Structure 1
């Protein structure tokens, strides 16, 4: 980020990308100071990340460190952990489920589905999972891989000839595993701003070919639509839609009757927890987040009752109640480190890995620790954390924008189960990290306060007209009196422009990646009309300039 008013903000780093780093470091028993340092980095530095073989995992064989008494003690603390977090933060609704040694030992809801209304949250209340959808998606793909129709190392283009990235060589070689491990070279959150503007899945995936690429398989760049492209290719190989494939491969065989990859199913469920955002000191159900375009990466809705069944499958090597639902070898591949998500910040520092839809780490006992967070800034935050060697897993769902409650409850529970106490007080730590991320996301230019002596704007006719952009499509600027309005996206979403200084205007961003007021700067030579304009919020990957048609 620079101080130039035309380079006013980077695209907002999604909370889930930061939480992914925190979870990976927590899995490696990171000290809070190490996790805070990593969280300050929007995208970890590129690190070579070849796929290891199952034999390469650094997990030593040892007896389980947990027993029923330790887990019972941790479960007994859950009510207090959740209620304390809700009291401190005001989060409206929480649901928690715990599995141990193939049994559901805890499933409970707290609070309400919608602030100000009486509907209580229960273990069968449906929540939007956000990026917790990713490990469910990799479970579905593992089911198809186990059936022999697809391999993790198949090039995506083999099953979807329309798949294309900017580099033809990368297009030919990018595999399903590459995209599930966020190592394709696509930029961080590629395509998300198109989704905010209302573009559909097909359009967004078609624009991945225009995204600049980092070196292939040499870094970790979290991409919802990269993973979505791979999942859809697998669905094409299976001859079904992704939504049907998910239901038939995973949800129906496990009896996950309240789980769906269709937003419409969530929306019509009367027992759903709606999303909330913080407005002043109050939580409000202000927005509706429709993530259907990125369904494999963020569009699943589910309950703790259903997710407990999925955790049993994960912890049981793909088997539930004596039935091998998902092939064990294909599922095991999702649990291996395929990429470095959080490189060490010191020679003896912890390393956080990413598998296939999972954060992967190893704690100080050498135990494999799997997890993932989900976060919608418009109102959802979720977490799953599992110790497969111990048969222990916890899932926490909330109906509020991410502030760290889901992670804090899960991490505190795991601390108590492992050590008999909280080694770190995770709630204030997570609240602090998320707040620092929020503060770092503010612009260096305050559009609510124009300069004391701003340069005058040109006549509105200098700015009005149609502008073209291959990535975002057409943009029009119209005038009503001296007021300008910018419209773009498939629904021609209108953004009123407010003069800031000279040829720079501000507008209110919207959607999951909104950053408040941001800037639009016109390029005007002499007295003629503007030749182009640059929308700073849309320019993270170099596609924010629109040229007059």
Structure 2
């Protein structure tokens, strides 16, 4: 009898092992290690859940390139916008508890709140905010809000200055300040802050003991990855940690793949974790209901035909399956989460270089393996596009730097010195530093930029935080007086430049 039971056990183990695709069993380590080299990524952590079991949970490379401290399953990363589904889930639970309705107007909770258009103000609901329905451009306002010294309330007040480029409820524009606003309804109806609600109702019940709702103090935590980029320089550069707790409901959570795997396991088990019903199934369903139609066009690289957005999660078809996913980008970090309930499959990948797309190529490679798709090297497929675009940026920066040749600007330095302002951002100042100029950004903590004159009225703008980028800048001059200037930041933060008028 014992021999028979042992045989059954061994057969079960073999069947469980054989259920994993050959790519995952035999090639995953080599694929990831090669990808880290090709994409210049210091470290990566991955977890794969299949059929109720964590089949992969592992770290690769380094969390700190100087000390060579390795990444493991407990290494902390900023998961950025992967925080959004936590916010959407919290609000869906509050609706389930009859504390609010997602169709409630925002002005019900914030009577003095307004956006650019008064008609939109009167119609805006919590669900609109969670669906990016405002009509603004993707990332609009983020240069003003991201890493800024503004409070959550001050950000909400400034949203009335965001002039929409599109139409309310008709144009999709990814909006971090909208998610902040929706998240700030939580303390109004629950009596506790967003971070306390997330901790008490999601993180603690899931035993996510190595997850932190806020990014404050991240540098002092043990086993935490440092953030890096290769943007604008081509070489791996360490960045300061983002300070985005003022946008917390949109992207402040810090976690590890071991903890994110618990969150994803709950997603696959209809709100249950380790046999306990952590969240009602109807709450989980509510977060996945399509709230925003983004696209109904076939993807040129992947077998998908539509993309929608729920309450903090994207949804698409992929090889005939329903895929839920999100990515997260903070300076120095890009991450993803993905779950396929029909396949009882979930994936999370956390990385510490923000200038790469291997983290997404790897996700699709794992999906392809489990969905029995023919092998296509997704990393190589995307690397050729990335390399061409990245080389163009690096060549542009190189050519700009080559134009710094001790030429004299059009006007004496003191003509440029002074205070400037932008209606949304607020104040900056331009000061002299030797033969160059320095910009002080009053709305940010310790952010400056140097200005070196090139030629033809253009200056080389280089931010003190490398994540913000390197760009040409030109002052508008009328009657031998400086009138204004346009200032650009990395598209990773915001796409459009800001016009600052000299006071």
TM-score range, shorter chain: 0.7 to 0.9
Contact 1:190 1:226 in 2 (8 A): no
**Which structure 2 residues correspond to residues 297-446 of structure 1 after superposition, within 5 A?**
297-344=250-297, 350-365=305-320, 367-376=321-330, 378-419=331-372, 422-438=374-390
Deviations 1:122-142 (A, max 9, x none): 211211112222223322333
**Corresponding residue to 1:209 among 160, 164, 168:** 160
CA distance in structure 1 between the partners assigned to 2:431 and 2:318 by the alignment: 58
Contact 1:187 1:212 in 2 (8 A): no
- Structure possessing the higher relative contact order (Cα contacts under 8 Å, 6 or more residues apart): 1
Partner of 1:37: none
Partner of 1:463: 416
CA distance in structure 2 between the partners assigned to 1:349 and 1:254 by the alignment: 32
- Aligned-partner SS, 1:448: helix
Change (3 A) 1:441 1:450: closer
| Post-superposition offset of 1:422 | 4.8
Contact 2:186 2:193 in 1 (8 A): no
Partner of 2:25: 76
Deviations 1:8-30 (A, max 9, x none): xxxxxxxxxxxxxxxxxxxxxxx
- TM-score in terms of structure 2 length: 0.85
Check if 1:140 corresponds to 2:93. Answer: no
CA distance in structure 2 between the partners assigned to 1:313 and 1:255 by the alignment: 11
Change (3 A) 1:329 1:199: same
| Post-superposition offset of 1:178 | 1.8
**Which structure 2 residues correspond to residues 16-165 of structure 1 after superposition, within 5 A?**
69-71=18-20, 73=22, 75-77=24-26, 78-165=28-115
- Aligned-partner SS, 2:64: coil
- Aligned-partner SS, 2:401: coil
CA distance in structure 2 between the partners assigned to 1:212 and 1:443 by the alignment: 34
CA distance in structure 2 between the partners assigned to 1:226 and 1:344 by the alignment: 26
| Post-superposition offset of 1:261 | 1.5
| Post-superposition offset of 1:255 | 0.5
Q: Which has the higher strand share?
A: 2
Contact 2:115 2:159 in 1 (8 A): yes
Check if 1:295 corresponds to 2:245. Answer: no
Partner of 2:173: 221
CA distance in structure 2 between the partners assigned to 1:276 and 1:143 by the alignment: 36
Deviations 1:184-229 (A, max 9, x none): 2122102211135633243333221101112001122112222122
**Corresponding residue to 1:517 among 465, 471, 483:** 471
Q: Does 67-76 or 457-466 show the bigger shift?
A: 67-76
Q: Which runs of 5+ in 2 are unaligned?
A: 1-14
Q: Which runs of 5+ in 1 are unaligned?
A: 1-65
Contact 2:406 2:453 in 1 (8 A): no
Change (3 A) 1:164 1:267: farther
**Which structure 2 residues correspond to residues 468-479 of structure 1 after superposition, within 5 A?**
468-479=421-432
Change (3 A) 1:145 1:276: same
- Aligned-partner SS, 2:226: coil
- Aligned-partner SS, 1:198: coil
- Aligned-partner SS, 2:116: coil
Partner of 2:222: 270
Change (3 A) 1:544 1:422: same
Contact 2:83 2:251 in 1 (8 A): yes
CA RMSD of aligned residues (A): 3.2
Partner of 1:241: 193
Deviations 1:88-120 (A, max 9, x none): 334222211122233322212222221132422
Partner of 1:257: 209
